Structure 1
């Protein structure tokens, strides 16, 4: 059985590949540039873009299960991708949603084969957006200091995907995935400060400043408004731990302190 992992070099895709290999699965990792992939030994790294399914050629040969990471492009091309996968004999999907049930997620749910949808809320890796100001000034500028988020470790998401791809009992499940700690941004800054071994200051920014920061990064007005609006008033799933990881993995979620220690070198 070969499992195809799309978005294999992304924040979560790498962990999906890693956990599948640990389970003894044969993994085909799809990435735009295999030369830069730096994936674990044992993965078959192939070139391709799941946003452009018409170009994938023999990527599905021998593949019986697929992990899909929904990006802005695959949100629309997803139905064609799913159709090609099914025609090649794929019998199981996991899909990491794009924040809502769009065309790709719907195509998987209507595929007629085993599927599991992963619905993480806020990634711990979002803290990497703070790196520039931390390196320059030892400061984290972010809005909404009182808003809590049960942020989740990307490795936990990857492990849930690996379990659903290799074990029974996860068909037609939509898993809300979050951590066990509902932390504010200042609390995360304090934890990160300890991991880095130096004092970091939290500086509150306004809603408008947060939108402008995204606009300056090339994000569209609509997307910037949506992202900042979500963080200003997130859904209950984003800050209410629900125990999914404990039930699926048989252990508690990894903490933000663990993530900070693991990723301190990236700051």
Structure 2
């Protein structure tokens, strides 16, 4: 049995669907109806990161765990999940982390939280695999409303580049790591095949949608004000620091681990945009 947390999220959902076709899969979460709708017929179990006992019950009998947590302001959630995995007899944890952990200049809340998570897993005595992606191509779905309404993308630093990745590629690596040999104690840097800017992504979307789109720049300070309306201040500050690193070129490096693991090139943004054109129309 392979357990999956974060199945209602971007990467976890893909992992759950891929695993369930060939492997006994258990989805952990609080919204059981959403989980059942995500993968009909999957084993769905109630669990709460704040309740270690519920996690132990949910992980009982699981051999491997795909671990996704989402709240850097609640580090106890990560400690609870790992402790429950050890108690339940889980042998291998595949952790969704972030490539920023390898950047000595990255010292924000979110990156330090991921570093602490990785250190905790390494010290656990369990087999582990760290997946370290760049930002998700699917983040550009946040543009869908302004594209539908005004044929406009509004973004800070439109010329800055990020080697962003298709979440489906991350999921394929996760499934490979969970089900195949030789991935224990490995750290995988996962990027797309090119460093691409928001302006270039906008141009790809324009071509895929067959209509002109405008890419308008907003100051980082205005972007921060928007983030602060939606997130707690420490997280908004971490997003600002991350954006500044991208503007300084820290996220342009392309890694070819995807090619080696999956035997094919990483998915391009153009291919991702073509597959998701309906979300912008």
1:229 aligned onto 2:227: no
Matches within 5 A, 1:48-197: 48-56=47-55, 58-72=57-71, 75-97=75-97, 99-100=111-112, 101-197=114-210
Q: List 4+ stretches of structure 1 deviating above 4 A.
A: none
Partner residue of 1:35?
33
Secondary structure, counterpart of 1:193 in structure 2: helix
Secondary structure, counterpart of 2:38 in structure 1: coil
Partner residue of 2:259?
246
Measured in 2, the distance between the counterparts of 1:237 and 1:212 equals 23
The two structures, once aligned, show a CA RMSD in angstroms of 1.9
- List runs of 5+ in structure 1 lacking aligned partners: none
Measured in 1, the distance between the counterparts of 2:14 and 2:186 equals 20
Partner residue of 2:20?
21
Measured in 1, the distance between the counterparts of 2:127 and 2:34 equals 32
Deviation of 1:76 (Å):
3.0
Measured in 2, the distance between the counterparts of 1:237 and 1:114 equals 30
Moved more, 248-257 or 220-229: 220-229
| TM-score normalised to structure 2 length | 0.87
| TM-score normalised to structure 1 length | 0.91
Q: Compared with structure 1, are the counterparts of its residues 157 and 186 closer, same or farther at alpha carbon in structure 2 (3 Å cutoff)?
A: same
Deviation of 1:214 (Å):
0.8
Measured in 1, the distance between the counterparts of 2:155 and 2:50 equals 32
Does the 8 Å CA contact 1:245/1:253 hold for their aligned counterparts?
A: yes
Measured in 2, the distance between the counterparts of 1:31 and 1:61 equals 15
Deviation of 1:127 (Å):
0.2
Measured in 1, the distance between the counterparts of 2:171 and 2:249 equals 23
Measured in 1, the distance between the counterparts of 2:260 and 2:61 equals 31
Measured in 1, the distance between the counterparts of 2:76 and 2:210 equals 44
- List runs of 5+ in structure 2 lacking aligned partners: 99-110
